[in-house]
Amino acid sequence: MAALRPRQKDVAALAGVSQAIVSAVINGRANRAMRISRETEQRIWDAVRQLGYVPDPIARKLAGGQNRLLGVFTYEPTFPVQPQTSNYPFLVGIEQEAVAQNYNLLLFTQTNAPDGRRTIYTAGVNNLRLADGAILFGHQAHTDELRQLLAERYPFVFIGRRQVPGHELAYVVAAHVESGAEMVGQVLDLGHRRLAYLRSPVAIEPEQDREEGFRLAHQRRGLPVDERLIARVRPEEVTPTLVAALFAAGVTAIVTEQTGLADQARVAARELGKVAPGDFSLAALGDSMTLPLDPDLTTLIIPRQAIGARAVRLLVQRLAQAEDSAPEQIYLPCAIATGRTLAAPTAPRL
Amino acid sequence: MAALRPRQKDVAALAGVSQAIVSAVINGRANRAMRISRETEQRIWDAVRQLGYVPDPIARKLAGGQNRLLGVFTYEPTFPVQPQTSNYPFLVGIEQEAVAQNYNLLLFTQTNAPDGRRTIYTAGVNNLRLADGAILFGHQAHTDELRQLLAERYPFVFIGRRQVPGHELAYVVAAHVESGAEMVGQVLDLGHRRLAYLRSPVAIEPEQDREEGFRLAHQRRGLPVDERLIARVRPEEVTPTLVAALFAAGVTAIVTEQTGLADQARVAARELGKVAPGDFSLAALGDSMTLPLDPDLTTLIIPRQAIGARAVRLLVQRLAQAEDSAPEQIYLPCAIATGRTLAAPTAPRL
DNA sequence: CTGAAAGCGCTTACAG
DNA sequence: CTGAAAGCGCTTACAG
């Protein structure tokens, strides 16, 4: 099928001018270096309209211009089957800001390796170069590939904090440390002094940061952290036995890395006849992507949509900057969903 | 810093061959038309490795012809804030099939008019031309724009049945008529003879088709449709009074256009002390995008993911066809979610 | 077996 | 004010 597109030379011929003039007019360079009569300009736009001319982004890019294509690359499928567990809120923000910045979005679906995994480089080719720059996310990110992107100075912004030893890279991420410290600070300021912290056994960046926030809140108030009250557990390991042990150790508040652990802690405590906030306080430092979020639970809310939008703005900004300007890291604060699980400590029932 | 990326000519120079040979070797065209000595080929690969050469995908596309970009255009935001009410399932299918067909996806976010509405044409220019072809969806589709696309022979596939008087266009859609007829046929074959049909006051294409399916099932069995039992109502108008009137008219089964009306009918019937399937049968011809779908309700399930995938395949196929080949319309059957609201009619309780 | 050359559709100096 | 021309980095006939 492939209808032949009109080219710049077709427009030029129809308007009776040279191709270079068409290029200048279309790119708005008309009124600067080269002044072109309003009449000529009008003829050119008429020809553009008549032929339905649209510049070829590929040719533009090759000739040195940009193509106003923003890439989106995810190591996992961009649209997982279950939207609840997905990148969806990020995409909402990315789309909104792409509209605002007048960029189109390019989803790299050609980047699948034969085994179904996604890779930026296939046979040594950087597939992202189709776009002016790209937004990356996904926990599976290969450090090797990021290093190579950095080496060839391809402009990209990561969603999420990423470390590539020896390099700095641009990213946008929730302020897990600071927001975690704020939340834990609220717990401490309510008068709690013995806080348990439940975290998962393997910690990826955001979770490391949340734990750091937990410690930071104590440190800022000159309070000690009892390392014995920090438990690395999977959700199913949060048993009544574990929770009873915490209470026995004088714990009045339980802070968890994410909502799943908090839910488990609640169930376990209830089996012991203990309820939040009457008997103990409970707060989670991460939110849940699953939709039915317990409205009672006091938890952080990760501003995913704002993060997506901010990533687009940062990328567009980088595209306009000198190639060697330092990459920026942006931390967006989380909101605190004030539930009903947080209160001042009461005297323990004996 | 970082020396300029090596080009094919650099590789050629280092290997002592012409640029064309490098291109052939790198693209594996070496052993076909042009036979190149193993030794030469080895020298070239050595040079590639030594220089860290990576072919520029942009230049490749320009020289190659098409850009293997598939556009996705929606009249509403592609990613609405609430994923439940969204195009999400279509996108899942589109992404999966784009991967299979080795195309990248282009989301048109540059197509917003100043007033925030999306239009394919801005200032007379067809923005979709950035891609080889495009998939369109959205109920707000402007017939004018579609007509113009057809006139300029731009290859596109619509998701959903669309009418443009005087033209045929390619689309993929759920087989609302046939699947509706199948569902209603099941109701009839259970022995029900007086079926009520609840539909919304304004009917867009899929809903028109469902009603047609309702009639078709009767027609095929030589059974009459009582027009007085077809009610055009909004969900809030499905009151106990209305449902009582239906029962009084001898109705033993209620079929609705979509799940919302079915939910209302159920509630209204319960107020009358009537329950499905004991007292009457209930079935819906459309499904619900909202996630907590009542598992009891017998309803059609629209194969959105399959529709998205099929649309991609159809578009790719059209791109390979002669420009004037007839557009194809594809109907995909719905699955029937067998709930618990359907049974043979019982003698009415008096 | 291999090279010189045209061309993909643009942008951008450079000449008038 | 406007045009002729080089060039971006490739692919692909075409010619030896």
Q: Do B2 and A153 touch (CB under 8 A)?
A: yes
Q: Give the pLDDT band (50/70/90) at residue B193.
A: very high
Higher pLDDT, A291 or B93: B93
Average pLDDT score over chain B: 87
Asked if residue A333 has a cis previous peptide bond (ω within 30° of 0), the answer is no
Could you tell me if A280 and A269 are in contact, meaning their C-beta atoms sit under 8 angstroms apart? Answer: yes
pLDDT in tens, B215-257: 999 999 999 999 999 999 988 899 999 999 999 999 999 999 9
**Does the pLDDT value for residue B38 go beyond 90?**
no
Q: Give the pLDDT band (50/70/90) at residue B90.
A: very high
Instruction: Dig out the tokens for B309 from the structure.
Output: 């995938």
Could you tell me if A133 and A155 are in contact, meaning their C-beta atoms sit under 8 angstroms apart? Answer: yes
Calpha distance B301→B289 (Å, rounded)? 10
Q: Cα torsion for A26, A31, A37, A40, to the nearest 10°? A: 0
Residue of A48, A67, A107 for testing the chain B interface, max B β-carbons within 10 Å: A107
User: CB distance from A152 to chain B under 8 Å?
Assistant: yes
Residue B57 CA to nucleotide C1 C1', Å?
28
Q: Do A103 and B96 touch (CB under 8 A)?
A: no
Instruction: Dig out the tokens for B28 from the structure.
Output: 């594996």
Least confident of A14-28, A236-250, B263-277, B336-350: B336-350
Calpha distance B188→B184 (Å, rounded)? 6
Residue B24 CA to nucleotide D13 C1', Å?
13
What number is the average pLDDT over the span A267-294?
Answer: 84
Higher pLDDT, B203 or A132: A132
What number is the average pLDDT over the span B190-202?
Answer: 94
Give A142: exposed, middle or buried? Use CB within 10 Å, 0-12, 13-18, 19+: middle
b/e B321-330 (16+ beta carbons within 10 angstroms → b): eeeeeebebe
Q: Do B79 and A69 touch (CB under 8 A)?
A: no
**Does the pLDDT value for residue B292 go beyond 60?**
no
Calpha distance A15→A12 (Å, rounded)? 5
C-alpha angle B79-B85-B90 in degrees, rounded to nearest 5: 65
b/e A244-253 (16+ beta carbons within 10 angstroms → b): eebbeeebbb
Give the pLDDT score at A142.
83
Calpha distance A216→A121 (Å, rounded)? 40
* Nearest residue in chain A measured CA to CA from B108: A104
Q: Provide the positions of strand D that have an atom within 7 A of a protein CB.
A: 1-5, 7-14
Q: Could you check: is the Cβ of residue A63 within 7 Å of any atom of nucleic acid strand C?
A: yes
pLDDT in tens, A24-83: 888 887 665 567 788 888 899 899 888 888 888 788 888 877 788 899 998 877 777 666
Residues 271-310 of B with CB under 8 A from A: 291, 305
Give the pLDDT score at B1.
30
**Does the pLDDT value for residue B3 go beyond 50?**
no
* Dihedral (CA of B303, B309, B313, B315) sign: positive
Give the pLDDT score at B93.
94
Give the pLDDT score at B7.
86
Give the pLDDT score at A1.
41
Instruction: Dig out the tokens for B127 from the structure.
Output: 């923005």
**Does the pLDDT value for residue B171 go beyond 60?**
yes
pLDDT in tens, B120-135: 887 677 888 888 899 9
What number is the average pLDDT over the span B156-179?
Answer: 93
Q: Give the pLDDT band (50/70/90) at residue A148.
A: confident
Distance from CA of A123 to the nearest CA of B (A): 9
Give the pLDDT score at A106.
93
**Distances A253 to A70, A126, A283, A328, B184 between C-alpha atoms, Å:** 45, 50, 8, 36, 58
What number is the average pLDDT over the span A183-212?
Answer: 92
What number is the average pLDDT over the span A153-176?
Answer: 91
Q: Give the pLDDT band (50/70/90) at residue B288.
A: low
Helix, strand, coil percent content, chain B, rounded in steps of 5: 40, 15, 45
**Does the pLDDT value for residue B2 go beyond 50?**
no
What number is the average pLDDT over the span A191-197?
Answer: 96
Mark out the alpha helices in B54-204 (DSSP H runs): 57-64, 88-101, 143-151, 176-189
What number is the average pLDDT over the span A160-173?
Answer: 91
Instruction: Dig out the tokens for B227 from the structure.
Output: 């027009």
Give the pLDDT score at B266.
93
Could you tell me if B298 and B334 are in contact, meaning their C-beta atoms sit under 8 angstroms apart? Answer: no
Q: Give the pLDDT band (50/70/90) at residue B195.
A: very high
Give the pLDDT score at A117.
79
Could you tell me if A51 and A12 are in contact, meaning their C-beta atoms sit under 8 angstroms apart? Answer: no
Higher pLDDT, B281 or B348: B281
Structural element, H or E, at residue B73: strand B69-74
Q: Do A107 and B107 touch (CB under 8 A)?
A: yes
Instruction: Dig out the tokens for A274 from the structure.
Output: 């203990």
What number is the average pLDDT over the span B23-35?
Answer: 75
User: From the list B109, B124, B132, which residue is nearest A49 (CB)?
Assistant: B124
Q: Provide the positions of strand C that have an atom within 7 A of a protein CB.
A: 1-5, 7-14
Calpha distance B192→B343 (Å, rounded)? 9
What number is the average pLDDT over the span B306-327?
Answer: 89
Q: Give the pLDDT band (50/70/90) at residue B33.
A: low
Give A57: exposed, middle or buried? Use CB within 10 Å, 0-12, 13-18, 19+: buried
Q: What DSSP designation does B112 have?
A: B
Give the pLDDT score at A112.
74
Instruction: Dig out the tokens for A301 from the structure.
Output: 């809310």
Instruction: Dig out the tokens for A164 from the structure.
Output: 């590539």
* Dihedral (CA of A95, A101, A105, A111) sign: negative
Average pLDDT score over chain A: 87
Calpha distance A276→B43 (Å, rounded)? 72
Give the pLDDT score at A321.
80
Amino acid code (one letter) for B235: P
Residue of A75, A130, A304, A305 for testing the chain B interface, max B β-carbons within 10 Å: A130
pLDDT in tens, B61-83: 888 767 788 999 988 777 776 66
What is the number of alpha carbons within 13 Å of residue B194 lying toward its C-beta?
A: 13
Calpha distance A43→A49 (Å, rounded)? 10
Instruction: Dig out the tokens for B60 from the structure.
Output: 């490749």
Return the beta strands (E) in B84-232 as ranges: 104-107, 121-122, 125-126, 133-137, 156-159, 171-174, 195-199, 230-232
Could you tell me if B75 and B140 are in contact, meaning their C-beta atoms sit under 8 angstroms apart? Answer: yes
Give the pLDDT score at A196.
97
Instruction: Dig out the tokens for A92 from the structure.
Output: 């909402």
Could you tell me if A190 and B40 are in contact, meaning their C-beta atoms sit under 8 angstroms apart? Answer: no
Nucleotide with minimal C1' distance from the CA of B57 is D10
Structural element, H or E, at residue A301: strand A298-301
Residue A99 CA to nucleotide D11 C1', Å?
35
Higher pLDDT, A259 or A189: A189
Calpha distance A262→A76 (Å, rounded)? 27
Could you tell me if A193 and A252 are in contact, meaning their C-beta atoms sit under 8 angstroms apart? Answer: yes
Calpha distance B295→B314 (Å, rounded)? 33
User: From the list A54, A79, A291, which residue is nearest B95 (CB)?
Assistant: A79
Q: What percentage of chain A exceeds 70 in pLDDT?
A: 91
